[in-house]
Amino acid sequence: MSINILHKNTELIRKEALRLGFDFVGFAKAAPLDDEAQRLEAWLNKGYHGKMQYMANHFDLRTDPTKLVPGAKSVIVLMHNYFPKEEQHDPTAPKLARYAYGEDYHHVLKGKMKELLHFIRESIGEVDGRCFVDSAPVMEREWAKRAGLGWTGKNSLLLRPGAGSYFFLAEMILDLPLATDDPIRDHCGTCHRCIDACPTEAISPQGYLLDASKCISYLTIELREEIPTEFQEKMEGWAFGCDICQEVCPWNRFAKQHNETAFEPHPDLPSMSSTDWMEITEEVFQKIFKKSAVKRTKFDGLKRNLRFIKPE
């Protein structure tokens, strides 16, 4: 395939992805993630994945996209803003990670990606590929780095210059060769605000390494058993997820409000008071979080979190 056609197809896909509402698009060559595989193995050996056993499963699939899509040539990485227009009103109310304000991003982004894949097949020809939104063992931040969309910050999240980190990541692995983007350098410098701000000390003193078993997001979402009492005074009011390391990151001063109606919160959510949260019933839970990622923790899980952060 000629260089001209590679670039033409790449820009055609980029333009359509932006039209569908994605904010940034990057392209990388599909190849094994050898260095990343070694780091992942070391991370798992330290037990930093906690009870998330799925992180250790399908190791070969996680580190080699050609095992997920035979004949894979390219990885397309898509970023979608979720920074909200409206925050929770009551500063004393239990807090919800911003990504969970609106509809579950898995469904919203998967729908857009299916449209994009259909467009690719209509415009370019028969292409084999798969779409991923946390739905398979894909190392999304590593691919975003390779696709030039940002760098992995000291808080382990993907950071993009002039935009920050309030973005969902999604990937398409295709057997279509495309032009690739160049990685960008790390811009964290000597900053260590995320390290200092993490109340559970989940981020290593040097940064770039997260002990997920100490992360508030893990404790309130992934952990199914009771939260260890050692974290009793360290939750800082977070009932589902945590945004502390993003809130203190200087790059998020560039965060702009999203334009996706599906990510707007239920009308009752922003105004919920501390009392509303603590007295929430299953009926209210089902109404407000009907389409939200908060349903992952289920009503009983949310009540567990609420009891833990505000014990009677």
* 132 bridge partner residues: 171
Q: What are 111-118's contacts with CB under 8 Å, separation 24+? A: 112/20, 112/21, 112/22, 112/80, 113/78, 113/170, 113/172, 115/20, 116/13, 116/16, 116/17, 116/20, 116/172, 117/172
Nearest-angstrom CA–CA distance, 169 and 176: 20
Encode 251-281 in three state secondary structure. HHHHCCCCCCHHHCCCCCCCCCCHHHHHCCC
DSSP type of residue 291: T
Identify which of 79, 80, 209 has the alpha carbon closest to the alpha carbon of residue 148: 79
Query: Is the separation of the CB atoms in 79 and 144 below 8 Å?
Result: yes
Place of tokens 């692995």: 173
Beta bridge partners of 26: 77
134 is catalytic: yes
Length of the chain: 312
Pairing, β 238-240 against β 95-96: parallel
Handedness of CA 101, 280, 294, 287 (dihedral sign): negative
Q: Which of 134, 181, 186, 276 is catalytic?
A: 134
Nearest to 102 by CA among 115, 83, 89: 83
Q: How many CA atoms lie less than 13 Å away from 101 in the CB half-sphere?
A: 28
- The residues that are catalytic are 134
